Amino acid sequence: MGDAHENVGFSSEKTDHKGDKREPAKRKIVVPSQLQSRKFWLALAVLASSTVAMFTGHVDPAQWMDSLMAVFGVYAVANTASKFQRKQTK
């Protein structure tokens, strides 16, 4: 005995308006433009290297926090400057 609601109007396969079966859409990985910038990857590399240095005992947590704030500050100022530069060139 099957469930009364089994396969009622639902199908896992997609069909077009004529009832022909379509292939499922292939998903593409979309990388936002912010993740493609050199500034972002450089900031991420400095963050990763300072984190490794903290866990290996080369810097203490206070120094790590100072470097983290400095990296964020430089990254934020560089992004702001590049956005103002693009606005002025338009």
- Predicted confidence at residue 34, as pLDDT, reads 58
Give yes or no for a contact between 21 and 15, defined as CB atoms under 8 angstroms apart: yes
Residue among 33, 38, 49 at smallest CA distance from 74? 38
Averaged pLDDT, groups of 10, the chain, 90 residues long: 50 56 66 71 89 93 92 89 79
18 found inside a domain: no
Number of domains in the chain: 1
Reduced to 3 states, what is the DSSP secondary structure of residue 21?
A: strand
- Predicted confidence at residue 89, as pLDDT, reads 74
Q: What is the pTM of this model?
A: 0.53
- Predicted confidence at residue 85, as pLDDT, reads 81
84 found inside a domain: yes
What's the domain range around 68?
A: 33-89
4 found inside a domain: no
38 found inside a domain: yes
Contacts for 72 with CB less than 8 Å, ≥ 6 apart: 43
Q: How many CA atoms lie within 13 A of 82 on its CB side?
A: 11
22 found inside a domain: no
- Predicted confidence at residue 24, as pLDDT, reads 65
1 found inside a domain: no
49 found inside a domain: yes
